[in-house]
Amino acid sequence: MRDLSAGPRVLLKRLRELMAEPLDPQERLDRIVRQIAQNMVAEVCSVYVLRSDGILELYATEGLNKDAVHLAQLQMGQGLVGTIAASAQPLNLSDAQAHPAFTYLPETGEEIYHSFLGVPILRTGRSLGVLVVQNRTSRVYRDDEVEALETVAMVLAEIIATGELKKITRPGLELDLSRPVSIEGASFGEGAGLGYVVLHEPRIVVTNLLNEDTDHELSRLAEALGSLRISIDDMLSRRDVSMEGEHRAVLEAYRMFAHDRGWVRKLEEAIRNGLTAEAAVERVQSETKARMMRLTDPYLRERMHDFDDLANRLLRQLTGYSLRPSNADFPADSIVVARAMGAAELLDYPRENIRGLVLEEGAVTSHVVIVARTMGIPVVGQATGAVALAENGDAVIVDGDEGRVHLRPMVDLQRAYEEKVRLRARRQAQFRSLRDVPPLTQDGQRIRLQMNAGLMVDLPHLAESGAEGIGLFRTELQFMIASTMPKMEDQEAFYRNVLKQAAGKPVTFRTLDIGGDKVVPYFRAAEEENPALGWRAIRLSLDRPGLLRTQLRALLRAAAGLELRLMLPMVTEVAELKAVRELLQKEVQRQSKMGEKLPRKLQFGAMLEVPSLLWQLDELMEEVDFVSVGSNDLFQFTMAVDRGNARVADRFDVLGKPFLRMLREIVRAGERNGTSVTLCGEMASKPLSAMALLGIGFRSVSMSPTAVGPIKAMLLALDAGKLAATLNPLLDDRQSSLSPRQMLIDFAEAHSIPL
């Protein structure tokens, strides 16, 4: 082989010309391997492409037997080619046949060739095939020759990714990039959705691969790296970033990667070999990711996400890429796939187009999941690898009932799910038929079924579901989806419209609950080590009384002549209620003084989410007109379980004795004081846990709109008194090993209660 110092640039220029010519896929591949062989003075150049069945098929060759094309095959891990694909590492051998992995394929006629250089064809860390050059003479290929072949392999990866090779793939076979994949996750929201992948943070597709000016590209890289390093250093030096902890550890890892000379040298070398700066980043990112994906050390594998994110940041610096597709480009049947996301980010998407949500992280009680369920879309969480395996536009099925994601599903599976969706629609129609049936248990107990909401688009569900009212209206969602702080007039118009759409049914407005994981873009709070236990909800509102008084004024004016029900979130002490009541009274007096019409009735309540209120129950019940139990946060704070941390979110059971006993005490305190008590949270949305609530005395619950039908079907078949007579003694029994959950399941089965 000759010196390749200028070779890669000449080769890439010729490949660019071949890519632009109007050739059929097979001829294009044949001419590419011929060009590579000529440029590298190799007697053989071959391209193997990975099929969906795990077979590497010879797609083109220069030097081997032409009749072997599309016939010669190796399994993943078999032979030298299979070893390269499986390991995602190049092989550089002076005597290929002496290697223990060598497999002889007689149809190729390659036995006369000794020297062997093979590199994986990688895209986003995945092996799509293998590119090989061979020579008769025994020799070891130089590092610059390996680098040149890896650069060419990147171009081939884009050819495979475009789907062009489908035209020459034998009937009945598929390439690996289109291979069906099923991912086991966790059910976060019921239902099934069929549609097409929309990556929440889509990988940047680099279309400009080959550079015209090496010095210019090196300068662009240096400038982007400088900006990246400055931004990381700025984040680390900020006062609100603590000196230790997980957040700082991640930023330190970013800084380590950003200043790593080995990484930078690889980027610069790829540019000198003819790639643009962004193509160089993509190539090195893909190679590094392929290696890290195969590591067994969990810490190092975790750092892969840090490196991936850093490389994506650098790509965005270079390309000026916008993360979010415009609404015009948003598919009609979209399944949003993300590592993690906030509730406001989900609401940024055109709601009517979303058919499902897939998350690699998060937990069933995280706010984005709550909002998704309110939107009535199925959600699968803990779907590890979904982002890496999915491509924008891939067909996908989200099974929220079973917690599965099916990427690029087979036709038979797709048809089966289409039938499942039709069956579910018929079941929903049956629930709708119960809409006007009074919610009475078998023993005549009337249960008040309400729904949770937060946006205008939720309001039609009030009539459709048959809910008696809105037990929880999350006012913060209006703030979270706005780019600027909503003015008092905008808030008033919004609340007035909500009451109008409710058509006389009661609406319970929760005052602003921001902070923690509810990020408002225009309200920057100091970063906290544990934001869930920090400056949020009523604490923030009392510290910013102007913010709270503006909202109270808007609510009072919107409810003029009507009933106004409002409640405060995350109350910790009864004194907080008294402080807000004073502010509310000032607003009432102001409105009266201004001659403005007041609500005809004002109901003042509190959310019971903080365990400290359990030792103030009677004082609480005396201070308010009603109490609403926020079971999600109450469980989180009681059990010391971060509801956004999947490792512990399911560690304790909401239907365990401790939590059910606690909820029962709240109900009894309400009865003692003549104060109405309701529960709004995840527990109310599941028939089994809702049944437990009725058993311990709750007669009012609020849930997602889609849950109203199933909950009503359950209670219509339930004898609440008989359940209470079975459940309460079990909660008091210190000796019994029977879990309340199992008792409830047995009870439902014995009495034919639909769950």
In whole angstroms, give the CA distance from residue 378 to residue 383.
13
- Write out the two tokens for 435: 């809409």
How far are the Cα atoms of 579, 591, 599 from residue 586, in angstroms, in the given order?
11, 9, 15
**Nearest CA among 178, 183, 149, 201 for reference residue 308:** 201
Measuring CA to CA, which residue among 730, 744, 640 is closest to residue 683?
744
Grouping H, G, I as helix, E, B as strand and the rest as coil, residue 59 is strand
Give the C-alpha separation, 45 to 183, whole Å: 37
**Cα–Cα distance measured from residue 222 to residue 20, given in angstroms and rounded to the nearest whole number:** 30
What DSSP string runs through 226-283? Answer: HHHHHHHHHHHHSTTS-SSSHHHHHHHHHHHHHT-HHHHHHHHHHHHTTB-HHHHHHH
Residue 297 has phi, psi (to 5 degrees) of -70, 115
Phi, psi of 662 (to 5 degrees): -60, -45
Residues 30 and 168: their CA atoms lie apart, in Å, by: 12
Q: What's CA 723's distance to the chain center, in Å?
A: 38
Quote the CA–CA distance of 718 and 248 in Å, as a whole number. 53
Distance between CA atoms of residues 26 and 168, nearest Å: 7
Nearest to 362 by CA among 579, 131, 596, 186: 186
Burial letters 84-112, b for 16+ CB under 10 A, else e = bbbebbbbbbeebeeeebeeebeebbbee
Q: 557 burial class (0-12, 13-18, 19+ CB within 10 angstroms)?
A: buried
**Of 697, 680, 567, residue with least CA distance to 623:** 567
Distance CA 350, CA 352 (A): 6
Handedness of CA 526, 528, 534, 537 (dihedral sign): positive
What is the set of active-site residues? 367, 680
**Residue 638 C-alpha from the chain's centroid:** 27
In sequence order, which ranges of 410-523 are alpha helices (DSSP H)? 411-432, 460-465, 476-480, 488-502
Residue bearing tokens 């909002």: 371
Residues 6 or more apart in contact with residue 749 via CB below 8 angstroms? none
d(CA 376, CA 373): 5
Amino acid found at 157 = A
**Cα dist. 78→54, 100, 290 in Å?**
11, 11, 19
| Residue of 373, 427, 449, 468 lying closest to 716 (CA atoms) | 449
Q: First and final CA of the chain: distance in angstroms?
A: 72
Can you tell me whether residue 703 is helix, strand or coil? strand
> For residue 682, what are the β-bridge partners?
none
